Amino acid sequence: MKSARPKVMHAIAGQPMIHYVLDSVRKAGSTRTVVVIGRDMADLAQAVAPHATAVQDPPRGTGDAVVAAKKALKTIVGDVVIVFGDTPFIEPKTITGLLAARRQPLSGGRFPSIAILGMRPREPREYGRIKLAPDGSVEAIVEYKDATPEERKIGLCNSGVMAVDGKHLFELLEQIEPANAQGEFYLTDIVKVARGINMPTVVVEGSPDEFMGIDSRSQLAVAEGLMQTRLRARAMAEGVTLVDPRSVTFSYDTRLGRDCIVEPNVVFGREVQVGANVLIKAFTHIEGASVEDDAVIGPFARLRPGARIGKGAHIGNFVEIKQSEVEAGAKVNHLSYIGDARVGRGANVGAGTITCNYDGFTKSRTEIGAGAFIGSNSALVAPVTIGDGAVIGAGSVIARDVAPGALALTRAEQKEIKGWAVRRRKERTPPKRPSLPRPTRAARPKAAKPARPRPQTKAARTVRPRKRAAAKRGRKR
């Protein structure tokens, strides 16, 4: 990933990819989960808490990673499911299906000790190949780097996910050897070990889309696109209209009510809850905010964390709301910043209004009462309270509380100086240059026309050579 951050901490739709895997494991019925991490990954250990973590140091392969979890697993009763933290699309039902296969008796009454998830991707590339025995059981899993050309032609590939009978897991792991091109302990080698002691392995085929691993930034971008497709489909299935679905970006936890309409180029960050029948206009960004029914948001609005928009409220173009409540029916329609404030029910905030909530050291609140009217281009210097029904004159700077029903304004007295603009223009306009008299047509000197050369006539052309010939003859005489 070319990153200082652990790979599984990179986010998809606003959530680290490891959390998708943990969520699927939990929904599949896990009673205990251990996350195997590398050294110096305290941030990852904190992110997966309260699940236990085990440190693999140094990293010596997938088999060694499972051995690292032995101490944290303690006594094992039941099955152990091994999944990878960089496969965020695995579904809970896929895990439960794998467990069902592990617990299903084979012909003869024996139970498989291992069940693995296989897949048939369109492009197998460097996946390990699953070799099947004539009876349909798994003979071996061959890693791509160790496979022969014939083995690489096998279409059934290993996803890496497996369920193992907990009674035999570590017994099998103790017998694997790093006899491969990488010198690592491969988890997949337990299949060959189990077969050698007459413990059968079965394979369950799943969708390749669920087992997409992420090893690069480009694959992370592909995964983001797949997740966004899922989230958009879910929103529309729940009764949301997306005017241009491909241009809307969701977070994994975005929740929209029925009959919401979302216009193009809207971004939802984490922790957004939107009620029913809400119109979210184009180019709006919402994160950490809640919006109640029948509200109108945007276009070009930004709701930051802590914004709570009441029923039927209007938040218009180029308005930013942060850590504030805009109560039912209130309107903040144009070019305003409302931070650390409460806008009362039915209040109207005019264009260009700002709450001056930060003095360089502390943040203070602004209280705008119900039904108050804030004139355009006003600055409310917190802490300040505007009473219910009060009116603030346009262009005012309000630094003291305003009583309910009062008018407050801080404009200077308007003055008018008659004729000032006319005099000013005369002073600033440069005088025009005097123009010279234009000569009349008779006074203009007549230009001499150049003489045209007269064309030679045929007679002239013929006479001249004769005269020259006669002159020559006279000189000879």
For 79-105, the pLDDT digits (tens) are 999 999 999 999 999 999 999 999 999
In this model, does residue 476 exceed pLDDT 60?
no
In this model, does residue 216 exceed pLDDT 70?
yes
How far is Cα 475 from Cα 221, in angstroms, rounded to an integer?
A: 108
- Band of pLDDT at residue 412, cut at 50, 70 and 90: confident
Q: What kind and span of H or E run contains 331?
A: strand 331-334
**What CA–CA distances, in Å, run from 261 to 162, 257, 296?**
43, 10, 10
Closest listed residue to residue 154, CA positions, set 121, 106, 178, 191? 121
Query: Where in the chain are all domains bearing CATH 2.160.10.10?
Result: 217-408
36 or 459: which carries more pLDDT confidence?
A: 36
334 among known catalytic residues: yes
Residue 15 CA from chain centroid, whole number: 11
How far is Cα 332 from Cα 328, in angstroms, rounded to an integer?
A: 12
Query: DSSP secondary-structure letter at 363?
Result: B
pLDDT of residue 448: 65
217-408 under CATH 2.160.10.10, yes or no: yes
Closest listed residue to residue 17, CA positions, set 217, 200, 186? 217
Residues 6+ apart with CB under 8 A from 382: 340, 341, 355, 356, 357, 363, 364, 365, 366
Strand 320-322 relative to strand 384-386: parallel, antiparallel, unpaired?
Answer: unpaired
How far is Cα 162 from Cα 95, in angstroms, rounded to an integer?
A: 9
How far is Cα 406 from Cα 75, in angstroms, rounded to an integer?
A: 73
**What CA–CA distances, in Å, run from 67 to 72, 74, 187, 195, 293?**
10, 12, 10, 20, 53
Strand 348-349 relative to strand 325-326: parallel, antiparallel, unpaired?
Answer: unpaired
How far is Cα 336 from Cα 319, in angstroms, rounded to an integer?
A: 5
pLDDT of residue 108: 78
Query: Where in the chain are all domains bearing CATH 3.90.550.10?
Result: 7-211
pLDDT of residue 431: 81
199 or 462: which carries more pLDDT confidence?
A: 199
**What CA–CA distances, in Å, run from 175 to 63, 89, 114?**
11, 32, 15
Residue 253 CA from chain centroid, whole number: 13
412 or 371: which carries more pLDDT confidence?
A: 371
Query: DSSP secondary-structure letter at 249?
Result: B
Q: Let me know: does 122 contact 228? Beta carbons within 8 Å.
A: no
Across the beta sheet with 354-356, the strand order is 267-268, 285-286, 302-303, 320-322, 337-339, 354-356, 379-381, 397-398
In this model, does residue 450 exceed pLDDT 70?
no
Average pLDDT over residues 357-374: 96
State whether residue 357 is helix, strand or coil.
coil
The one catalytic residue among 10, 51, 285, 334: 334
Q: What CATH number labels 7-211?
A: 3.90.550.10
In this model, does residue 347 exceed pLDDT 90?
yes
Provide the Cα torsion 277, 282, 286, 289; round to 10°: -30
| Reported pTM | 0.83
Average pLDDT over residues 266-282: 98
Strand partners, 119: 157
pLDDT of residue 457: 55
